[in-house]
DNA sequence: CTCCGGGATTGAAAGGTTTCACAAAAGTGG
DNA sequence: CCACTTTTGTGAAACCTTTCAATCCCGGAG
């Protein structure tokens, strides 16, 4: 036994070019047991006597054995990894969502791989293709276009898909989202409570559904206070970047005093930060001359020169729940697709408190 | 032939529960060709006549064939994916680095999977283990501890490793990093040129190597201007967060006027933003009462109330180069490990210009 | 002493793809 | 119409692991 063991060890150590990585077979030979036994050590250690197990483990260490996941997966039919295809890897919102997913994945002893589509449909499609070929256990995605038919196809072919932070048109998948109407409502209600009656809405509500909903919530809050839709002053932007916020700020500052809003509800914290920047350079005081409220509560909202009031989405829970839905789908025998909607909350800071 | 073809098609379409995903074998049967031919269509389309190729492609579409990457990889020995184990997924610096890697990966038709160790050694080790088992083509990593011996082992076992934004002690891997001494030097030289002679250094240089180097560069710049090390006022922090910056700002404001620095060099943009926040709340004018310079030039540096002068690291190039080194290692027959060092550049904005 | 039960171990088959040596068909030139 | 080259297609082996029915061995019951 021992002789055999050492012999193989020597063979692998021979000076002539490293032959190839050791497999389960080499381990079996080195330990003087059968192939199946090694596999048992790996997968059902309790079925193996302590003595042999020790022998096998020693051989594995000696040969620097690394399990081959491809072969494993080929046999098992599915892998131990989840993937999140995120819309924008450089947006802290999505990385926080991903962190929540990681928590859930770790709890189930799975890996989470992150892919960044960077708003590009082609890259998104490429990643989806690869993930399906990898036979990942499931795909989490915040799609560029929420009605992507490809998602339905993938789900139909057997890879569960969960849509994150978007509400898909059809009900082929589970999804998690946040109630944007409610978010808009609490934001503007807060401004009204602070005594504001002319409120700017800054964002691209004509093109993005979620922004439209936030604006809808704003209108509802106004209505609830007996204020008509004319109390909402639209400053429409093309996107939701800091630069858009700066631009909107200049337009706002240019309005004549009687028309100029005393508060601004921004569709996004980035826009709010841009607005804040304009205020600083134009010597407008926040919140005295203009109260500002953002949306998302990104980390830098609290770090702004004037800490920003914002609407916080439960990002981490969003991610965790999405991953849990995905796991449920692979586990439950008769799975019903669920659409989970989270409720955002208001975080009040200096930018709206006078 | 045709009969056979149709027969198999029917079997797969039977109403009884979806049996299993179609494989290359099913496609072959459906198209009435051999297994090897289907494989040729997939891998060497030019070796196959247009007519048969069309037949096979039709069959693939019909059966919704999805290539099984595990099997492929098992045979091929290695996969078509790179992975980046990043230190902190919520730090924009690393996501930008990752974007650079994606560019390189895409150019070589590979996928990049992102893993987030979130500063946790255990999670880092778990990911590394999984990646090695997956036989990824190579691993890019910004390790929690740059001297991680595990990395050497992995490289020795055959998976190339490139260390990103850290200089590893040994030379078992390629690495890419940025010249922090130079970064500190240009930052402080700029402040001196603006007429400052008492400069605060804010950061945790006692514990983090990179910060130590930035401070060293600062001292060199002072020396070059004939100013002794006493012109650098250390305000040591525990970490490099916004809160640390706020705290340092309060300490700085508390200094008596003759000792108080007129400029601050922050080890980090986050710290600089925190400092800026304190200045805003204490009504200290930037840059008139205090000039501020940060480090990293994160997106929010330009978006701050007073746009922040900062030292920009070529993040995207850093990532791209790292990925290219990795690919070179898998390609070149006799690979020499290279240590690439990038040079940072100064981005001047309002926070230092009076 | 035999037989039985049960834990430990074995060996072969299966999983889907790629590769490669080989066979068949088609095309070329004499 | 033959010999020969080129193009196209074939089928078996290999990649590494897991699973499972079958075998082995041992102690205890009869």
* Structure-model confidence comparison of residues B85 and A21, the more confident one: B85
The gap between A301 CA and D17 C1' (Å) is: 51
A89 and B156 in contact (C-beta within 8 Å)? no
d(CA A93, CA A300): 11
Nucleotide nearest to B68 (CA to C1'): C16
According to DSSP, the residues that pair with B312 across neighbouring strands are B296, B345
Q: Is the pLDDT of residue A123 over 60?
A: yes
The answer to whether residue B130 neighbours chain A at the CB level (below 8 Å) is: yes
Nucleotide nearest to A36 (CA to C1'): C10
* Backbone dihedral angles phi then psi of residue B283, each to the nearest 5 degrees: 60, 35
Least CB–CB distance from A111: residue in B67, B127, B303: B127
- At residue A5, the pLDDT reads 37
Alpha-carbon gap, residue B312 to A249, rounded angstroms: 27
CB contact under 8 A, A90 and B90: no
Strand D bases with any atom < 7 A from protein Cβ: 7-21
Residue A137: which of A150, A154, A116 has the closest Cα? A154
A345-347 vs B111-116, strand pairing mode:
unpaired
Q: Which of A21, A116, A280 sits opposite B98 (nearest CB)?
A: A116
Give residues lining strand C (CB < 7 Å).
Answer: A 33-37, 39-40, 46-49, 51-53, 71, 74-75; B 20-21, 23-25, 35-36, 38-40, 42-43, 65, 67-68, 71-72, 74-76
Kindly identify which residue of chain B lies nearest to residue A275, measuring between CA atoms. Answer: B305
- From the alpha carbon of B23, which nucleotide's C1' atom is closest? C16
Residue at shortest CA–C1' distance from D9: B37
Helix ranges restricted to H, chain B:
2-13, 24-31, 35-43, 50-63, 69-76, 92-107, 121-134, 149-156, 180-193, 209-224, 242-254, 269-281, 299-303, 315-331
For range A86-96, the mean pLDDT: 89
Model confidence, pTM: 0.86
DSSP-assigned beta bridge partners for residue A132:
none
**Tell me: the pLDDT tens digits for B272-288?**
999 999 999 999 999 99
A30-CA/D29-C1' distance, Å: 39
Neighbours of A185 (CB within 10 A): 24
Q: Are A264 and A275 in contact (CB under 8 A)?
A: yes
Q: Which candidate from A70, A83, A89 shows the least CB-CB separation from B95?
A: A89
- Whether pLDDT at B267 is above 90: yes
- Which whole number is the average pLDDT over A229-254? 96
- Model confidence at B19, in pLDDT bands (50, 70, 90)? low
Residues of B in contact with A18 (CB under 8 A): 158
Calculate what percentage of chain A has a pLDDT beyond 70: 94
A69 with B96: Cβ contact below 8 A: no
At B98 the pLDDT is: 96
What is the pLDDT confidence band of residue A17, given thresholds at 50, 70 and 90? Answer: very low
Is residue A312 over pLDDT 70? Answer: yes
Dist CA A275 CA A269 (whole Å): 10
Spatial CA neighbour of A56 closest among A43, A69, A72? A43
- At A132 the pLDDT is 95
pLDDT computed for residue A18 by the predictor: 52
Q: A123: which chain B residues are within 8 Å (Cβ-Cβ)?
A: 106
- Which residues have a Cβ under 8 Å from the Cβ of B129 and sit 6 or more positions away? none
> Does B8 score more than 70 pLDDT?
no
Is the pLDDT score of B335 beyond 90? Answer: no
Contact B115 A114 (CB under 8 A): yes
pLDDT category at B73 given cuts 50, 70, 90 is very high
Q: Is the pLDDT of residue A259 over 50?
A: yes
Residues 278-297 of B with CB under 8 A from A: 279-280
Largest CA distance in chain B: 97
Categorize the per-residue pLDDT at A29 as very low, low, confident or very high, splitting at 50, 70 and 90. very high
The burial of A153, by beta-carbon neighbours within 10 Å (0-12 exposed, 13-18 middle, 19 or more buried), is given as middle
- d(C-alpha B134, C-alpha B78), whole Å: 9
Distance CA B225, CA B36 (A): 73
Strand C bases contacted by the protein (CB, 7 Å): 7-21
**Measured on CA atoms in the order A118, A119, A124, A125, is the torsion positive or negative?**
negative
Q: Which residues of A touch B96 (CB under 8 A)?
A: 90
Beta strands at B309-312 and B345-347: parallel, antiparallel or unpaired: antiparallel
> Between these two residues, B47 and B84, which has the higher pLDDT value?
B84
Mark which residues 23-52 of B lie under 8 Å from A by CB.
Answer: none
Q: Average the pLDDT over B233-239 and give the result.
A: 96
* Closest CB from A115, A302, A306 relative to B113: A115
The pLDDT of residue B16 = 39
Give the strand pairing for B309-312 and B291-296.
parallel
Q: What is the mean pLDDT of chain A?
A: 90
- Nearest CA to CA, how far is B18 from chain A (Å)? 10
Give B34→chain A minimum CA distance, Å. Answer: 22
- CA B38 to each of CA A31, B63, B245, B313: distance values in angstroms, whole numbers, following the listed order: 41, 13, 62, 48
Torsions phi, psi of B286, nearest 5?
Answer: -115, 125
pLDDT digits (tens, 9 = 90+) for B88-100: 988 888 999 999 9
What dihedral do alpha carbons A143, A145, A151, A152 form, nearest 10°?
140
Output the pLDDT for position B315: 94
φ/ψ (deg, to 5) at B314? -75, 75
Determine whether the interchain pair A157/B123 forms a contact, defined as Cβ–Cβ distance below 8 Å: no
Chain B contacts of A302, Cβ < 8 Å? Answer: 242
CB-count burial class (<10 Å; 0-12, 13-18, 19+) for B141: buried
Task: For chain B, give the mean pLDDT.
Answer: 90
Over its C-alpha atoms, chain B yields an Rg (Å, rounded) of 28
How does pLDDT run across A51-71, given as a tens digit for each residue? Answer: 999 999 999 999 999 999 999
Sheet containing strand B199-203, strands side by side: B232-236, B199-203, B263-266, B291-296, B309-312, B345-347
Which of these, B253, B275, B254, lies nearest to A305 by C-alpha position?
Answer: B275
> What region does B298 belong to: left with phi over 0, alpha with psi -120 to 50, or beta?
beta
Across the range A100-114, mean pLDDT stands at: 93
In Å, what is the separation between the CA of B271 and the C1' of C19? 58
- pLDDT recorded at residue A19: 55
Cβ-based contacts of B135 with chain A (< 8 Å): 68-70
């Amino acid at each position: 036994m021992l002789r055999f063991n050492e012999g193989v060890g020597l063979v692998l150590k021979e000076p002539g070019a490293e032959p190839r990585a050791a497999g389960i077979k080499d381990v079996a030979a080195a330990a003087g047991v059968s192939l199946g036994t090694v596999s048992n050590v790996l997968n059902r250690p309790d079925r193996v006597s302590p003595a042999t197990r020790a022998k096998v483990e020693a051989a594995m260490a000696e040969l620097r054995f690394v399990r081959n996941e491809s072969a494993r997966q080929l046999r098992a039919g599915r892998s131990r990894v989840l993937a999140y295809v995120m819309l924008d890897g450089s947006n802290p919102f999505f990385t926080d969502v991903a962190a929540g997913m990681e928590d859930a994945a770790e709890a189930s002893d799975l890996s989470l791989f992150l892919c960044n589509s960077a708003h590009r449909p082609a890259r998104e499609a490429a990643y989806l293709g690869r993930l399906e070929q990898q036979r990942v256990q499931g795909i989490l995605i915040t799609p560029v276009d929420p009605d992507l038919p490809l998602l339905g196809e993938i789900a139909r072919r057997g890879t569960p898909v969960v849509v994150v932070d978007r509400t898909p048109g059809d009900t082929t998948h589970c999804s998690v989202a946040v109630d944007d109407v409610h978010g808009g409502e609490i934001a503007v209600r807060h401004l009204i409570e602070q005594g504001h009656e002319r409120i700017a809405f800054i964002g691209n509500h004509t093109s993005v559904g979620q922004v439209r909903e936030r604006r809808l919530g704003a209108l509802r809050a106004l209505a609830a206070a007996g204020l008509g839709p004319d109390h909402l002053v639209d400053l429409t932007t093309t996107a939701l970047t800091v630069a858009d916020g700066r631009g909107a700020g200049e337009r706002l500052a240019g309005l004549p005093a009687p028309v100029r809003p005393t508060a601004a509800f921004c569709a996004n914290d980035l826009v709010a930060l841009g607005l804040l920047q304009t205020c600083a350079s134009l010597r407008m005081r926040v919140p005295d001359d203009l109260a500002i409220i953002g949306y998302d509560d990104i980390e830098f909202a609290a770090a702004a020169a004037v800490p920003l009031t914002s609407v916080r989405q439960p990002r981490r829970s969003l991610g965790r729940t999405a991953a849990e839905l995905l796991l449920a789908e692979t586990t439950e025998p008769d799975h019903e697709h669920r659409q989970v909607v989270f409720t955002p909350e208001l975080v009040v800071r200096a930018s709206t408190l006078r």
